[in-house]
């Protein structure tokens, strides 16, 4: 399938699950939805109607969600051994296995080498790479929240894609053939996700990265939008309730906006590319945050322009420092101090933005209509800009 077809399938499936989430009491009707999906698929194929195929996927999404709400499914999840597993997973801290704890403690110690003079900044480095957010200075954390940039401490698509690229580069330096680099880097990438305790955002990003970099194995060119779509379908078929999860909505929306913005901005000067990506990431998350939390952070647009690239540099510096730490504490200390320089700059920028008037304020929670209107305006911006530029040129 082409990229547009993949994205339209995801949109139709998400629409179906969203509709079904409004009436989970009708779970017994899932066979009707499955039968309707088959009829629509046959009819759409026979007459070549894209509308019928779209409705087929919508019906399939409704059926999958309703099937997950069956009483038998709920009874299975409520069995004692399943409850114990869920309770353990909720209580467990990242890296709860003894081997992971020892390895994590050693990495945490190494990330503090050379930073005895700045323990708060060392804790920020640990939060960015290892997800250890409990050690962050409360005042600094408050500044990041008010500036709309606290996401740089959540191990998500930004961090995982940077680390995945770092592992791919390491595989290239190790003379691994091009088509096998993703296969060689996958154990290290998923080992990192295991080390930090399999946070949902990191699992989603690692799945997308694995699909993206594995394309050469199947004689395909990597396509970030298609990788996003495949990861979206896998996770939402496996766990239909994710359609109502705010964290999942935010991570998928922001990641898709970044992917599409980066493609649209290709060929522009570097600063314009960064501005386009930062604006798209911010704009994609605004309706979700406004709907869920009643918060609006216009200051996040300016702050993300500087902090998102800075966070990538900090992650790379920490990874390189840890990878070269076998050479001695001197090399590790230089890498840690460079990362500290970047993260301290991030703290200063977030503090400045947080103290600006109107950078963050509370609003009434948005409804579906307000969110739809925002996305309609957001999606029309590139078209309007192209029309204005074409009139100026001609």
One-character DSSP codes across 51-79: HHHHHHHHHHHHHHHHHHTSHHHHHHHTS
Is pLDDT above 60 for 113? yes
Residue pointed to by tokens 């730490």 = 325
Neighbours of 215 (CB within 10 A): 16
pLDDT of res. 75: 59
- Under 8 Å CB-to-CB from 84, ≥6 apart: which residues? none
Please check the confidence at residue 91 and state whether its pLDDT lies above 60. no
Mean pLDDT throughout 261-272?
79
Could you tell me the pLDDT band of residue 26, with boundaries at 50, 70 and 90?
A: confident
Q: CA angle 319-143-253, nearest 5°? A: 65
**Which H helix or E strand runs over 377?**
helix 368-393
pLDDT tens readout for residues 34-48? 888 888 888 878 777
pLDDT of residue 379: 80
Instruction: Give the separation between CA 327 and CA 322, rounded to whole angstroms.
Output: 10
pTM for the model stands at 0.80
Residues in the chain: 394
pLDDT above 70: percentage of residues in the chain: 90
pLDDT surpasses 80 at 25: no
pLDDT band at 385 (very low <50, low <70, confident <90, very high): low
Among 126-130, 138-142, 380-384, which is the least confidently predicted range? 380-384
92 pLDDT above the threshold of 50: no
pLDDT band at 229 (very low <50, low <70, confident <90, very high): very high
**Average pLDDT over the chain, rounded to whole?**
81
Q: Which residue has the higher pLDDT, 154 or 4?
A: 4
pLDDT tens, position by position, 280-335: 888 888 888 888 878 888 887 778 788 878 888 888 888 888 888 777 788 888 88
Instruction: Map 133-198 to HEC letters.
Output: HHHCCHHHHHHHHHCCCHHHHCCCHHHHHHHHHHHHHHHHHCCCCHHHHHHHHHHHHHHHHHHCCC
pLDDT of residue 49: 78
**Greatest extent of the chain over all pairs of C-alpha atoms, in Å:** 71
What backbone phi and psi angles, to 5 degrees, belong to 362? Answer: -85, 145
| Signed CA dihedral, 217, 218, 224, 230: sign only | negative
User: For 357-373, how does the pLDDT look when each residue is reduced to its tens digit (9 = 90+)?
Assistant: 877 778 888 888 888 89
Q: What is the DSSP letter of 268?
A: S
pLDDT level of residue 90 (50, 70, 90 thresholds): very low
| pLDDT of the residue at 96 | 55
Question: Is the distance from CB of 208 to CB of 248 less than 8 angstroms?
Answer: no
In this structure, what DSSP letter does residue 356 have?
S
Q: CA-to-CA distance for 294 and 365, rounded, in angstroms?
A: 4
Residue 389 vs residue 373, higher pLDDT: 373
* 389/375 Cα distance (integer angstroms): 22
**296: three-class secondary structure by DSSP:** strand
> Residue 93, class by beta-carbon neighbours within 10 Å (0-12 exposed, 13-18 middle, 19+ buried)?
exposed
Secondary structure class of 206 (helix, strand, coil): helix
Residue 324's φ and ψ, nearest 5 degrees, are: -100, 10
């Amino acid at each position: 399938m082409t990229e547009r077809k993949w994205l339209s399938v995801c949109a139709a499936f998400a629409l179906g699950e969203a509709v079904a989430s409004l009436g989970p009491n009708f779970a017994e009707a899932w066979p009707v939805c499955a039968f309707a999906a088959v009829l629509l698929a046959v009819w759409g194929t026979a007459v070549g109607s894209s509308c019928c195929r779209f409705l087929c996927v919508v019906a399939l999404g409704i059926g999958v969600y309703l099937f997950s709400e069956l009483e038998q499914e709920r009874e299975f999840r409520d069995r004692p051994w399943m409850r114990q597993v869920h309770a353990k997973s909720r209580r467990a801290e990242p890296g709860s296995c003894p081997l992971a704890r020892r390895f994590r403690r050693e990495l945490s110690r190494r990330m503090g080498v050379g930073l005895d003079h700045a323990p708060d900044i060392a804790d920020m480095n640990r939060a960015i790479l290892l997800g250890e957010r409990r050690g962050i200075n409360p005042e600094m954390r408050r500044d990041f929240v008010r500036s709309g940039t606290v996401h740089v401490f959540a191990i998500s698509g930004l961090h995982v894609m940077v680390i995945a690229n770092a592992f791919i580069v390491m595989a290239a330096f190790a003379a691994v053939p091009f088509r096998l680099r993703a296969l060689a880097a996958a154990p290290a990438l998923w080992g990192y996700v295991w080390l930090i305790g399999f946070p949902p955002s990191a699992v989603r990003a690692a799945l997308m990265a694995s699909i993206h970099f594995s394309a050469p194995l199947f004689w395909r060119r990597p396509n970030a939008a298609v990788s996003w779509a495949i990861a979206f379908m896998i996770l939402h078929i496996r766990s239909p309730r994710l359609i109502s999860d705010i964290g999942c909505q935010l991570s998928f929306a922001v990641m898709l906006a970044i992917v599409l913005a980066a493609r649209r901005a290709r060929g522009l000067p570097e600063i314009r590319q960064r501005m386009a990506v930062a604006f798209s990431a911010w704009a994609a998350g605004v309706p979700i945050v406004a709907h869920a939390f009643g918060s609006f952070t216009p200051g996040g647009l300016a702050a993300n322009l500087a902090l998102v690239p800075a966070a990538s540099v900090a992650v790379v510096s920490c990874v390189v420092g840890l990878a070269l730490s076998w050479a001695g504490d001197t090399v590790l200390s230089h890498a840690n101090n460079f990362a500290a320089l970047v993260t301290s700059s991030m703290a200063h920028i977030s503090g400045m933005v947080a103290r600006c008037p109107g950078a963050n304020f509370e609003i009434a929670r948005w409804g579906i209509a307000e969110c739809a209107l925002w996305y309609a305006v957001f999606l029309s911006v590139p078209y309007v800009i192209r029309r204005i530029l074409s009139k100026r040129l001609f």
